[in-house]
Structure formats: C-alpha cells, structure tokens
Structure 1
C-alpha cells in the first residue's frame, strides 16, 4: 500500500514511499546544497506513517512563491486571473541526482504544489528513462492548484523490470480508484513514462484514466537511440561518450549534408540531447545505461502490443523538433491506433517538451476539454478560470496588435439612459445575460471578453456552437488553436441546461440569438439581425431574476470586406459538396424553425482585410427581470419583452453607425499620431456620446 507522507520538507520536495518502506541509506535531493535524510531521520519518520495525511491534505507548511490562502483556495475554488506560478521555477533548481539508496521506485509530492482546490483529481507523473521525476518542475505550482500531484522517482541504479514498474503504478491506481471510484486519475507520461501509462491503462480498462503522453517512447524501435545498443555493448566504458556529448549529437545530424548545414544543425540537436545526457550525469556506469536502454526497448514493445486494450482518454503531446524520438509520426500512429486519442502538436519544440519555455500543460489540458473531477465532463462545475499567465499570453500578447489596430471603444448606458464611457452601466453582479449582434467571423469576441476582464474582473461565459467542442475536424497534428482558447476562456456548448446552470451560479452569460447565420452572414447583410421568432431566453432569465443587457457592435465593415459568401460557394459544385460534407457531422440547431434562422450551415467566407477602422461597442440600458417571473411566464408577455430587446439592439447598431462618423480617430493613422504624441498607453478618445 503506497503511503502519502512528507518525508523531506526542504523548500522544495516532500517524499512519499510505496511499501515496503525502505530507508537503508542516505538520500540526497535539493538545490545546490545537498540535503541528507539519514537513517536516524528515517527511523523517526517511520512511526508517523500510520497518521499520514489524507490525499487532499497539505503536503508542506507553505507554498513557495507566495500562494493565496489555502483555505480560501479550497473552499471557493480558483480566483479569476489567479497567479498560476509559471516561470517561477527552473530546472536548474534540481541539478543533483538522487543517489542509489537501495529503495525501490517511489512517489514524491512536491511541496510547492501546495493544496489543490476541493475535489481535485489525482495526477501521477511518470518520468522518462532518467527517472528523476522532476519533469513537471515548471508546472508544479499550476498543476498543484487543481490536481493532487505525485511524481514517481526511479533511483539511478534501480533494476526493476518494466513489468514491475507497471505493477507499482497499477497498485497505486487501483488503491486510489477504490478510495475515490467516481474521480478520474490522470497519468502524465513523459517519454518512457508514456509506455508505463499505456500499459497500466491496458490492464485497467474499467478504471477512469486520462492519459497525457509527452513524446511517448512507443516509437523507440524507430528512434535514433536504438542503434546505440550494439555500440555501447562493444565499448569498454562510457567515459568516451559521456565526456564528449558533441559526438553523440553529431550522430543525429542528417547524413550527406554540406558542412555548413551540418554545423547549423549541431547546436539544436545538442541542446535537445543534453538534458538526457545529464540525467545520466556523474559518468553513469556502462551497465546502468545499457540496462535503461534495454528497459526502454522492452517498454515500447510491451506497450505497443497492448494498444488495442486501451480504453482511456488519451492526449498525445508531440514535438516537431524531437531529435531523440520520431514523435511527430508517432502521434499520428497512436491517434489511428487508439480508440479515444487526440493530439496537440508543437512544431517548434524538442523532446524535453515539458521542460521548455512556452509550454503550459494545464492550459493544454483545459483547452482540450480534458479537465474534469468526475466521470463526465461538466463545462460549468469543472470549469477553471483563466490564470494571469493565460490572460497575458493570449489576450495581452497574441491579440495585442489586433487591439491596437482596432482600438475598441466601450460604451454603456446607465439606468437613467445616459451613455457613458466604459462598462459602468453594466451590473457588477450576476446573473447577467448579454444579448447582442454577432459580427462577421465573431471579430468582436476578444475585445468584449478582454474589456470585462480588465474593467469588471468578470469572466463572460459564451454560449457557443457545438462545432467548438467536437473532435471531428481535429487532425493528427492538431495545434493549439482558437478552438482551445475559447474553452480556456469559458465557452460552453449551446444548450438550455448549460444556460440554466450558468444562471444558477450567477454567471455573466453571452448569448447570440442570431447564431451561425448572423456570424456567417452574406454580402450586404452586415448589421442585420437573424433572430428566431420565439422568445428563447426571456423566460429562463426571468426564472433566475437575471438582468438582460442588450448590446451592439459595429466595425466589421471597417476591417474586412466579404468577397466570397455562402451563396457564391453554393453555386460552385466543388465547394457546395464540401460545405454539405462538412456540415453533415454537426449537431443541427433550430431544426424545428423556419426561415433564415434555420439556415445554420458553417462555411469559411472569403474576406479581404482593410486598413483597419475601429470597433464600437454600446451596452444598452439593463432590463431587470427580477420579480417578474409570474408576469413573464406568459408567452405573450415574454414575446413582448423579447421584441423590445431586439428593437433595442437594432437601435444601438443604428446609433453606432451614425455616431462613428463623428469620431476624429476612426482611422488608424489618426490614432497612431495621437498615441505617438500622447503616449502609446493612453486610451484614444472617441465621439461625444
């Protein structure tokens, strides 16, 4: 039975051991200075095993980096734009290997992970062939907020065969499943660890497992490491190889290249291989390295022979510049071989994907809709708010040029009808329903969400088309796209049940009654509403006393021109067949309705960019439904309110189209001059409301 107990509480690591407890020799771990756990310390700690803390307990007295109060974290969940701790750790913090102590592989819980939010699932990290177990070091703090993290450490001189390694992990998985049968268990396998994860999943098809495989070593038979085995067996020792890693890197340079091109490849290959070489630092004995490479070969063979039995959800993270394994091709093979496998491809990263800058494992898991706390994913209860890192990298960096080019203007209406700058007219507390016009290709979404995050510290939960949640169009080399981003930032599939639950949780809900028909409109249809006849949202909003805020946005015609629309494409046989085939697999919406609103076909319009003008948002006077449930239960009354809100949105669009003509800074050149003279951070003014 594996015990979870703090064994070494430096400022970094807490160790926990599986049975049998084995404290036969000193253990070194830590930063530059080695910290020893002696036999005496081990003896004293053995007595505390019986009272070891439960899985959700704290694994240390404090969280490095100044985390928020753990009680608040556990009871209320994560705060919006919380500090996820990325970039506050470094691989350099753990340069010393754990010396052989005679103990078997064991689990440890990094103290810096802290206490996760209540109900968090277990995450077991299975390391690469080096076995140190520090492959998640850059992710400890972020993952530790929403997972109970345990990492496996495999001592350098350990000789546990692959089947034995699988049994150790399997025993932990079965025990945890017995204690919490309704929670999923995450297995994050790095390279060799990916083989272990697949083997465990194949043996336990009835346990709810979610596998995250980073460049899994199932491709070892086709890797550049395979030819090393006969060479190493012939060498008297490894000092030649370990003393000159550049020669090992040269073996990976493509043959036949001109000298200058080969020299250009060498630094990149060497930087990819060095982390693995240092996993065997201090000149590892030849027999140890041979053992590990043979273990890797047997692991790949064992896992590949059992892929057919894997029923778990699998997410493969594949690097495009992996110079150790053919991970790109392996991702495609695994996606075709496994029943429930998806891929996220990172074309500019190497083999040590999880240790490279720019990779955010938790963000990837969230974007792939693979974070859940129970047997089924719930987009409301399982939702994790975006962290400050996610907000900064996606909104402040990725969309920075778009925001600068379009300089969105935010206006809102107070209860007395006065139009003011900013979002002061929008309520500060939910439930709130934002109902408005959907611009071409949803250009307005990122400025809208950004404005509510910055000004009101509110996450607007968009109700999105099922397209964004289907795997139908994912490829075997699927990159992290806008489809993942909208899920990180709160989108839920359109359904009455999800809107119901969002209102129940007092959320800010974003709804576009015009849906796909409005966002993929035809030529000459800009700023035209395609709303259904039925009052779809009024009565549900009234049931929860939600405040309805109508809004409009103009500017799409100032940044792009629609040149090839749906009608154009349907007149061409090839594109018509493509559109029909594309939409065949989608869940159809509003199939019981007539007219244009029922025409929800998805297509990719042909657009030409323009020298950008400006986006203008206006949020109308809030419409209170609190206390009107009885009145609005009547369909006629609800329909009257519905038409009133629709008319308000149309009036807002007309107002903005007229008033933007008075904006002296509508053109980008005028805005550039203003910012150059006043400061690039100054907000550019607009017309007088």
Structure 2
C-alpha cells in the first residue's frame, strides 16, 4: 500500500477494501463501514479516527461523514470524485466502455492509465506508471461498471445541503493536472461548502497522486493540517450581514447598492486573479481598531479597491480606506450611489479623505482602516523606484494607534508594478516645453485643497507628487496581497503622555516599515514561483478547468491562502 511506511510512524493504519465481487448499494455498504469503524475504535480504545479517502474513496468517505461525523477527528479528501448533480456527465462515457467485449477491455485499461498518471513525470511509462497499470488490472470489467453506477448515484445523494451539514475539519487535496476527472474544479466547490475546511493545491501529481511517494507525502499533509487546526486556522466562518460595523457610511447605501459595487469589480478580479495570503493573521474580534498599513502601488488604482472588496466578501467587514481627497471630486455623496472615484473609475466602498482628523475619528469608532503612508508619492513613482516606500518622517499615525490600543497589520501589494513600465515619469514630463506649466495649472488648486492640513502645499515639489507618470502596459500580471503579523500597540499604552512616547512611537513606526519591506520582498520571491502569474497561462488554465488557477502558496482557507511558516 502506497504511503503506508510514512503513516505507520505516527498512526495505527487501517485500510478499507471493498471486495471486487461486492455489488452492494450505498446504504448497505455504508452500514457495513459504520459497523467496522465502530469495532476498530472500540478495540483501539479511541472515540474518533483520522480518515483519508482518494478519488471514489473520497466519495465513500463524504457519504460516511454525512451519517457519522461524530466518529471523525478530521478527514482528508484526495482528488475527490464527488460532483454536482448538474455537472457535465463524465461517467456515462466510461460506462459505455464497460460494455465492450471482454478481450478489448484490457486495452482500455492500458489506454486509461496515462489519464491517471502524473503527466509531469519525466518517465511516464516507467516507475509509478507500472503501479497505475497494475492497480487497474485488479478490477474486473463488471466491477468497474458497478462502481461507476455508484458514482452516478452519489451525485444525487451528496447535495450542497448535505455537504454543508458536515462539521468535521476537512482537508481537500487536489492536483491541478488531474486529467481523469475535474477534481481541482470540484475542490473549489467543496472548499466553499464544507463549514470547516482547507485546501491543498498541488501543481503536479495527477489523479494517482498517492502512488508517487517520492513527490507526495500523505503523512506530512496530515501533520500540517493538524497544526493548522490546532492553531485555529481551520475554523468555521459565518458570513452574516450583521457582522458589518454599524457605520454612517454604510447607512447611506442599501445592500443592493453595496452588492453592485462588488459586481462592478468582477471584471477587474477576473483580469488580475488576486491572491490574498495571510488572512488567518487578521484578528476576528472587533474589540479594538485595526489599521492596515500598506505600500501604494504604481498609479494606485487597484490595490485599495480589491483589498476592501475582499474583506467585505470574505468577512463582511468594511475597511475604511483613507484616500487622497482629490479622488472624491465629482462624486458627491448626495448623488445616491456608492462612491466611485472619477479619476480611476474603480469603485471603493466607505472611503474617506485622508487627514489626521479622519484617522482619529475612525480609530475612536473601532473601525478597520486602510492607510498608505506613502500616499500619492508612491502612486506616482518615478523610474527605478519599483516597490519602494516613500514614507514621511512624521509617525503621527502610530501615536494615534497607541492612544486607542489599535492593532497594526503590515499589508503588502505586489504585481501591478511588474505589469507597468514607466515611459516618462513626472520629472521627465515637466522637462517637456510648456508641459510643466500646464500640469501645475491643472493640479495647483486641487493640491492646495487636499493638503490644507499640511504646511508645504506651496512648494513645486509637493505639487508634482500628483502628476501620474506616462506608462505602458507590459503585461497583465496577477496581483498578490500579503498580511503580516499583527503589531499590538496596546503593549505600549502605558507610555502615552510619557517623556519617551515619541521615541516608542518612532520604534514602532520603523518596525512597521521594516516588516512591510520584508513582506514585499517575500511576496515578490513567491510571485516568481507562480506559473500562473501572467495572463496567458491563467486564461488557458481557466478555459480548460473553469476554475481559478492555483498559486505558489499551496494551503488555503475560504478567506485566502496561508503562509506556510504558520504551520511550523
């Protein structure tokens, strides 16, 4: 049995074998399994077991869990053969094949083996391929036909309602290159349905993933999933409109209007296929304000709206983005619609103009807030400044956070600046005859109004900060958002008003900046490992699989991907 040696080091392993001559229907089969599991648990003096099911075994396991979830500590489904009742029928063609003459069926088994085998293996007709062929040879023709009919029947039995009622921690393992059944697309559906679940997406492995022990360790998967569960990462998430913070900005809009903003972002999401990593690090409690401190990407059109939208969809939390006041021009709240910045055309819910007063007010209300300290200077980068931070020396936002015991979460955004190439930056544009005077005349009054609370609104350097560079699109890159570990300012609350308050605030300020820079570097390294970072490969995968392609981060929850170091 594959994987047995690794599993036996930690577990007492039992394997369920359905005899080839068995023609039981589901009720009889599941009853026998239930009796056998109870017997094994009683003899082992245990109340629960860890279950693993592969392919059709995952179907058997899911049906069993729907009857006896109390017997399972956790379950792992590998390349599950479950499917929606209205999913395209991939079973009937195989049933037709089982009606072929006996002398032709061995040829069919041999031809089916490459569909089961890992297509990325360098020696497709050796090693693991032999194991696949041998395993297929053990199944007589009438046995294959009976089990295919069971699979057809299971589609009706495993409705969305049944799967959603299974409150057992479930790990779903799926290979993106499974060519036998659409298990990766099915894993996306199951990830949404199981209340407590995580998914491990493998770029390679094929349908017979467990056959290749050199590349895939089931024992390691179970150990990692167990650590995630112990850390509370695999948890039940209830999405309820009541979770929304009761703020004035939301009272202005109906839920229909709020949902319309999300639908308007659908095209952008499909275009950049955003990946969110580290959502498990964001505290679930709303007892304290949370400040997301991020890097503003070039042009700054997409990072804020996508982040705010993702938090709204996954947790029904409204993140209040502190945006440059110039972006609200032409979009007065009295128009009745959700705010959509006229400069960018990208909608964002609940944004407010950035100022110390706005930040103070939102912190006092225990809000979730998004701040880009680099502001317009980072959005209007010049050449050779990719992903650099341009933060002011003033650390006032940290002192406000200390006053309200806020949690600061460094938030990195990567991808946009790999897709855009600066042709002319603001300095180069202003060297063009007559262009400098025209640009300054266009922005002068707006900058003065936007920076009224600052003292440097009249110098030309500040005025040039809002001049966007001339760029060309070099490609449509995937966007990545990473959340760092929370920094609790409540640890320093006793220093408020003390003589060293400014020094402490400066230390926290520098720590946030260092951790954000480190997070950006990490995200960029992992981005380079993603085979679907560019649009051409993503589109090809989505057309073939009708699912969002995996990324460099393998483990994920309903909210997004997880950092691997969290499981160590």
Q: TM-score, normalised to structure 1's length?
A: 0.40
More helix by share: 2
Q: TM-score, normalised to structure 2's length?
A: 0.48
- Larger RCO (alpha carbons 8 Å, 6+ apart): 2
